[in-house]
């Protein structure tokens, strides 16, 4: 049997309140990460897609090869863990690049209504010019 003094209820209530507060903070942090992930991924990819388009345009000017321009765009996408979805040179000579990346999600990607939030796609266009 327990022979010690009983725990005062004020200490028990304070401990329960501290645990409840910690759980709320943890839930808020989780929600911020879960909901912010697509925005963070979009911000990261913005620089990547523009780099891919610009590097491809530069490569096209210097090599006159669409294959080497494509390879430059692909390298930029791969470096950031993104996928090069589309690459083409239009009739005016502009380079068009689309890249995508799956944003991290722990829960919401499992639901049809929110799944698309985590598929981040960005496009950029660049005109070939010498630097």
Strand partners, 84: 99
pLDDT in tens, 1-57: 556 666 566 666 766 676 766 666 666 665 666 777 888 889 999 999 999 999 999
Structure tokens at 108: 């919401």
In DSSP terms, 124 is beta-bridged to 97
Is 112 within 8 Å of 50 (Cβ atoms)?
A: no
d(CA 40, CA 70): 26
Cα–Cα–Cα angle for 114, 32, 107, rounded to 5 degrees: 40
Q: At what angle do helices 66-79 and 9-63 cross, to 10 degrees?
A: 170
Mean pLDDT of all residues in 103-124 = 79
pTM over 0.85: no
Domain ranges of the chain: 37-126
């Amino acid at each position: 049997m327990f022979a010690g003094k009983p725990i005062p209820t004020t200490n028990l209530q304070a401990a329960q309140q501290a645990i409840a507060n910690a759980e709320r903070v943890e839930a808020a942090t989780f929600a911020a990460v879960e909901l912010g992930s697509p925005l963070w991924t979009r911000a990261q990819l913005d620089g990547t897609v523009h780099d891919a388009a610009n590097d491809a345009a530069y490569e096209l000017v210097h090599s006159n090869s669409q294959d080497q321009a494509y390879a430059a765009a692909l390298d930029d996408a791969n470096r950031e863990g993104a996928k090069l979805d589309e690459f083409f040179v239009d009739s005016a000579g502009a380079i068009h690049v689309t890249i995508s990346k799956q944003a991290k999600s722990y829960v919401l990607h499992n639901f049809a209504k929110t799944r698309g939030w985590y598929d981040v796609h960005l496009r950029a266009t660049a005109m070939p010019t010498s630097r």
